Chain A
Amino acid sequence: MPEIRVTPLGAGQDVGRSCILVSIAGKNVMLDCGMHMGFNDDRRFPDFSYITRNGRLTDFLDCVIISHFHLDHCGALPYFSEMVGYDGPIYMTHPTQAICPILLEDYRKIAVDKKGEANFFTSQMIKDCMKKVVAVHLHQTVQVDDELEIKAYYAGHVLGAAMFQIKVGSESVVYTGDYNMTPDRHLGAAWIDKCRPNLLITESTYATTIRDSKRCRERDFLKKVHEAVERGGKVLIPVFALGRAQELCILLETFWERMNLKAPIYFSTGLTEKANHYYKLFITWTNQKIRKTFVQRNMFEFKHIKAFDRAFADNPGPMVVFATPGMLHAGQSLQIFRKWAGNEKNMVIMPGYCVQGTVGHKILSGQRKLEMEGRQVLEVKMQVEYMSFSAHADAKGIMQLVGQAEPESVLLVHGEAKKMEFLKQKIEQEFRVNCYMPANGETVTLPTSPSIPVGISLGLLKREMAQGLLPDAKKPRLLHGTLIMKDSNFRLVSSEQALKELGLVEHQLRFTCRVHLHDPRKEQETAMRVYSHLKSMLKDHCVQHLPDGSVTVESILIQAAAHSEDPGTKVLLVSWTYQDEELGSYLTSLLKKGLPQAPS
């Protein structure tokens, strides 16, 4: 039995370290290759030894697909391809291919230079890894080999984020990566056609959340920032260099402009300018409004937002600082946080999801005394705010996508088990499809019934068409034919044609039944009575009385004859071929019951 098998190596009932193995029609595809922000040991990377115990990954995997440039989706890629060893193709979109190596290099620097880790991938490995990348266009059908094809759809999560359809023959799987169903200030909404995959693998970060309107959230955010700045506080917004950062920059930029505010806004790390440059060059991936107006005014050229210098953190007076990384687990954002945490005038706004184990997660869950390195305890007096600006679909959005794609079954990844459970029930109820939520290392197996393309003779098809006036999707028709299998060539033809082609002669099987009727009248009158009786009984059939005295119902022949011994009895000879058996046998039983009394 053909089947589709799915095993998450990461992101199974968890957020982070996305890595999902899919086997479909004999092809093996790895979806994403991420790292986990919450761990610093072996657990930060997926366990690739699961894929194949002994033997090369290249031989086992047909391709690797990266959905977008966030490290929890691509952070393990150089380790996977260069240190574990994989030489096959890696597919991603152009913006992802451009930005991915920069974030990987950034990640490597923090790990090696700041934390002094040994045995980490090197800059050269990142370069070598990127050489294996094949860039794909949106909606382009990429033929990985003769059978396996993939196609990217717009996902709207970050610049260049894509959903991927993986297709072999008539079987297909769609992997959403991370996506957003509502357009925001700089990106459009995710979109997919009604591709009816066998399985939809969707993220479920916000499986239980139904977010209020974006406008309210934005107003809230601006109000909080404004209040903090007014009272002379410093506002820290930890972000990842690319993604929400641009969204919030656009938001603050327009607000500052409108309110004519003077407090400085800074953006940390040298990445910023570069990052904004990527947005300018890949403007075709942003939303319609930005694309339309970019010639007059490029939204990614900010007037109020300046580059940050470490020394600025100690400047007196209010300021707003965007600093990386977004979960306060390392780097500049954490440094600034430590500096500012003690002052209740200050504020930190977490605009996105924080993985368990990060400082961001701790303060969001209400912890106010943090144990830092070297047993130091940091008391958090500053205001801590959480605003969901992550560009993930909420429960409504996920349901919307399931409705759009119309999958036969759904599999949830990239979310918390408890929340998944809720969404799973909702999907199963609403769409009446199976929904799975495997944990890491757990395999889900789905049987499939693959379609085989067969050549059908036009004659046979047209004959079937002729039965119904118009092809009607709601009223399928029965079709009979013979499948000729010669070598690997499959053809469906009418039975007559099959016989002819193989040089066989039809064998006709005919039945004739004698039905005795008590009727003293003449044969012709009996036949006439039979005719009018059948005519009244069989309204949908063609009943005819032929000149020679016989009666036909469709192709069934009924003749009346006198009984050789009993003149009061007539014998009806009902004759039909094997092909008309149902009707023939029905007629005999009908006639056996006798004819209605003739009107006297």
Chain B
Amino acid sequence: LKLCKYCLSGHPTLPCNVLKFKSTTIMLDCGLDMTSTLNFLPLPLVQRYELKECSGHVFVDSVPEFCLPETELIDLSTVDVILISNYHCMMALPYITEHTGFTGTVYATEPTVQIGRLLMEELVNFIERVPKAQSASLWKNKDIQRLLPSPLKDAVEVSTWRRCYTMQEVNSALSKIQLVGYSQKIELFGAVQVTPLSSGYALGSSNWIIQSHYEKVSYVSGSSLLTTHPQPMDQASLKNSDVLILTGLTQIPTANPDGMVGEFCSNLALTVRNGGNVLVPCYPSGVIYDLLECLYQYIDSAGLSNIPFYFISPVANSSLEFSQIFAEWLCHNKQTKVYLPEPPFPHAELIQTNKLKHYPSLHGDFSSDFRQPCVVFTGHPSLRFGDVVHFMELWGKSSLNTVIFTEPDFSYLEALAPYQPLAMKCIYCPIDTRLNFIQVSKLLKEVQPLHVVCPEQYTQPPPAQSHRMDLMVDCRGPRSSPCLSSVSPTETPVCFQLADALVPMEIKPGISLATVSAVLHTKDNKHVLQPPPRPAQPTGGKKRKRASDDIPDCKVLKPLLSGSIPVEQFVQTLEKHGFSDIKVEDTAKGHIVLLQEAETLIQIEEDSTHIICDNDEMLRVRLRDLVLKFLQKF
């Protein structure tokens, strides 16, 4: 097995890896690290300077920029395919597929593409709706950056940070995606086969099997064993992997998602009861479906039936609608509901009963419908752009209000920094359903891969909790290294279509041999052996032949011979076939059989026979056939 893995993203939950395997170059995920935006000022706060200090922190006052996957390490035009595991891990796709010479195909499931499109659409909309005249670049000058306070000073590769893509680039990138279903086998150039498997983390989220005929690589990224809305994780198909690449584990290994949901509900209820508003910065898809479902069950018992819930996002309506049409990608319970037929998610009922309302932005209808106290779900969780910025400004000054952080991607303290000082309450309830370390070790025990490859961060406890030896991937059993190579296989499969024509002979007990002469067809990297065509019968009509027609094709190969010739039996055979006057002489290495009448000499040794005769083709062929009777052909 020989494979090479390049890691193009330092962020283990937003991976971007490139795998070279069987002469194909496969990119695994296209995560976009958006934590870089935390160094920027929230968008609507327009200023005239490049940098601004806010309660002890210095921020860049500019259109926020993102930290892209490494694009210099490998030539992106050589990437054959990109496999996407879930909609959070494709946000860098336009940067990779556009303007880089990329000509390959992207594979993803339908929900991944549809919801991924919504996430990108929201992002583009958030950034473009507040146009800024210029983007700051002076601070990126190394000499200036050096003098800035942390964390700006420590930000690496700031020169590669990029502004957001446009919707046009998004559409072009998405048009390169080919839709796939779970357990669909996709052939890449006949060299490898890739198959997406349910990973249980989000709608349409998948792990990938990448296999050749003799090797199997599993790519496990963003998987969950918890029962939420998506189809459960397919673990069985990961078995017998030579290599298991493990990324996208939980970012909050110490928090229990169920407990966090409980805390979320009780804090929400407490605030609202006291007449305050609740702000939930979130992505427009994913955990929000589960939160709405919990609230659906909770609001009546908590006496919150009259509190309005608002979901504000340019894609709020689409997200809610799309969630209802992916029955096949949902967990069993939700599937059964669709069979009734009822919408799988209860937020349909919340909308019908007017408890949940959705708006594309806080301008327009929302401003007239808006009642307080209320609960608002809106983006972006970084608090740097989107409608959430307005709500932070509107509600930040009152201690009655609460902001509850549920998305684990951003440090909530850093997210809040530019809004300080802040009177509103801040609750941190990160809900990350991805695998934790206990689940990982159980999974590895279950599927038994030969090698595990994982980001360095997972091989040691998190820096803040360095004593927690349980918060790391235990790779002591299997070997873990970024680049693997061992003996390459010496064989490749070929389809054999001449079983009828074979004459096997048993050489040793249990071992049979058969010589094969066949036509090799090679197509799409697949080899097929078929019976050779029968030699064309000479056509009677054509008498005239050119001399060159007779020249035999040297490529008609004769088999190799093996064995030895017992002289006595050979002589008997010769006599039986009408040769007389045979004389046998012994030599140092064997015998010489003389056919005096025919002036022919046959030298027989242990592993060779030499027939020396006059130019009599008939005779030569007769002798040849007699000799061959004693030998085996290969």
Contact = CB atoms under 8 A, between A and B. Distances in A.
Given A453-B495, A485-B514, A585-B617, A499 B560 contact: yes
A339 to B, nearest CB: 32
A464 B496 contact: no
Contact of A137 (B181, B511, B610): B181
Given A513-B613, A581-B558, A452 B495 contact: yes
B563 to A, nearest CB: 6
Contacts of A504: 507, 562-563, 632
Interface in A270-319: 274, 277-278, 280-284, 294-295
A554 B493 contact: no
Given A451-B495, A452-B496, A294 B607 contact: no
B502 interface: yes
Interface stretch (B220-228, B369-377, B526-534): B526-534
Contact of B490 (A459, A478, A554, A592): A459
Chain A interface mostly:
mixed
B494 A492 contact: yes
Contacts of B528: 451
A503 B93 CA distance: 57
Contact of A485 (B511, B611, B612): B511
A90 to B, nearest CB: 15
Interface stretch (B135-143, B149-157, B323-331, B442-450): B323-331
Contact of A142 (B183, B500, B606, B632): B183
Interface string B504-544: 10011011111111111111000111101000000000000
Given A137-B182, A482-B513, A496-B560, A456 B492 contact: yes
Candidate in A451, A453, A538, A583 with the most chain B CB atoms within 10 angstroms: A451
B497 interface: yes
A580 B552 CA distance: 10
Given A141-B183, A482-B634, A281 B327 contact: yes
B303 interface: no
A138 to B, nearest CB: 6
Contacts of A578: 558, 561, 624
Interface string A513-550: 11110000000000000000000011111000000000
A94 B336 CA distance: 10
Interface string A574-586: 1000111111011
Contacts of B338: 94, 98, 281-282
B256 interface: no
B262 interface: no
A455 B516 contact: no
A507 B631 contact: yes
Interface string A584-599: 0110110110000000
Contact of B491 (A486, A491, A510): A491
B496 A582 contact: no
A512 B521 contact: no
Nearest to B186: A139
A487 B509 CA distance: 10
Contacts of B492: 455-456, 458, 461
Interface stretch (B23-31, B239-247, B293-301, B314-322): B314-322
Contacts of B615: 513-516, 574, 588, 591-592
A515 B328 CA distance: 82
A507 B562 contact: yes
A443 interface: no
B617 A483 contact: no
> Quick one: which of B183, B507, B627 has the most chain A CB within 10 A?
B183
A166 B575 CA distance: 61
Q: Kindly state the interface size class of chain A when it binds its partner.
A: 35 or more
A156 to B, nearest CB: 16
A476 interface: yes
A574 B620 CA distance: 13
B563 A507 contact: yes
Contacts of B574: none
A210 B324 CA distance: 39
Given A485-B513, A578-B558, A581-B558, A476 B563 contact: no
B411 interface: no
A509 interface: yes
A147 to B, nearest CB: 15
A139 B182 CA distance: 8
Given A284-B326, A499-B634, A481 B516 contact: yes
A43 interface: no
Nearest to B328: A94
A477 interface: yes
A586 B555 CA distance: 15
Contacts of B500: 449
Contacts of B318: 295
Contacts of A141: 183-185, 195
B364 interface: no
B170 to A, nearest CB: 16
Interface in A471-490: 471-473, 476-487, 490
A509 B519 contact: no
Contacts of A480: 515-517, 557, 559
Contacts of B413: none
Contact of A94 (B327, B556, B565, B612): B327
Contacts of B328: 94, 135, 137, 284
B510 A482 contact: no
Interface in B577-634: 606-615, 617, 620, 624, 627-628, 631-632, 634
A510 B341 contact: no
A498 B624 contact: no
Contacts of B530: 476
A376 interface: no
B561 A508 contact: yes
A511 interface: yes
Nearest to B547: A537
A476 to B, nearest CB: 4
A457 interface: yes
B49 interface: no
Nearest to B531: A449
Interface string A18-57: 0000000000000000000000000000000000000000
A495 interface: yes
Contact of B554 (A472, A495, A496, A541): A541
Nearest to B523: A473
B410 to A, nearest CB: 29
A539 B548 contact: yes
A457 B504 CA distance: 19
A498 B610 contact: no
Contact of A579 (B182, B511, B547, B560): B560
A471 B522 contact: yes
Contacts of B181: 137-140
B110 interface: yes
B343 interface: yes
A430 interface: no
Interface of A: 94, 97-98, 135, 137-142, 170, 274, 277-278, 280-284, 294-295, 449-459, 461, 464-465, 467, 471-473, 476-487, 490-492, 495-496, 498-499, 502, 504-516, 537-541, 554, 574, 578-583, 585-586, 588-589, 591-592
30 contacts: A98-B327, A98-B338, A135-B335, A137-B182, A139-B181, A140-B182, A140-B183, A281-B325, A283-B325, A449-B500, A456-B494, A458-B489, A458-B492, A476-B519, A476-B522, A480-B557, A483-B516, A499-B560, A504-B562, A507-B631, A509-B561, A510-B610, A513-B620, A537-B551, A538-B551, A578-B561, A578-B624, A582-B554, A582-B558, A589-B617
Interface of B: 110, 180-185, 195, 317-318, 321-322, 324-328, 335, 338-339, 341, 343-344, 489-497, 499-500, 502, 504, 507-508, 510-523, 527-530, 532, 547-548, 550-565, 606-615, 617, 620, 624, 627-628, 631-632, 634
Given A458-B492, A541-B551, 4 more contacts: A137-B328, A465-B522, A484-B513, A507-B564
Closest 3 CB pairs of A and B: A455-B491, A451-B495, A582-B552
